[in-house]
Chains A and B, each alone.
Chain A
Amino acid sequence: QVQLQESGPGLVKSSETLSLTCTVSGGAISNYYWSWIRQPPGKGLEWIGYIYYSGSANYNPSLKSRVTISVDTSKNQFSLKVRSVTAADTAIYYCARYFSGRGFDPWGQGNLVTVSS
């Protein structure tokens, strides 16, 4: 079955850019939306955005000015960049597959990113 795995640094300095990659295995990246979701420590889930395999992306309006999601179908990967990070961006970042009418499933294991000053 499809599995997702996030990768990237666990520590980012304030005002810099957070970059994460999600590798999809066990299935093709085609014909689905691929999403990023985050969860600050001890808090709830926040949708960041998703990208269709063709490259069309949609973002959470509250993050849109700082976020870019891209896809590399040749590597079965998609990526997240969050610019000008602050302590409020400290969270576990999950990647997940999105299918309209089926929600987010499956999810990656998550990557804790801490923003330091």
Chain B
Amino acid sequence: ETGVTQSPTHLIKTRGQQVTLRCSSQSGHNTVSWYQQALGQGPQFIFQYYREEENGRGNFPPRFSGLQFPNYSSELNVNALELDDSALYLCASSPGGLGKGPGEQFFGPGTRLTVL
């Protein structure tokens, strides 16, 4: 069983650029959540996708957007990058869904984004 994978591992961008991060969910999981983890902080919830629809969003501006594909993989897009966007971006998948209990979320290794 393949776990959650993320690409790329590391990324360096300059302020104002756009970036796309990718996540492949674990087999059988239809829900993907994205988190931002700044250095020395706990992860912060960005948003969640369930069956290709956004299902909940944290306190992040609209320049953070996402997609989920029919195979349940997902992308996180960030436009107009700012220095404070430098962080580890974590993707987590789960077999949950609307109205279900808190199934375990399986985290990928993350993408380290550096904005210069």
Tell whether A pairs with B.
no
Contacts from A to B (Cβ < 8 Å): none
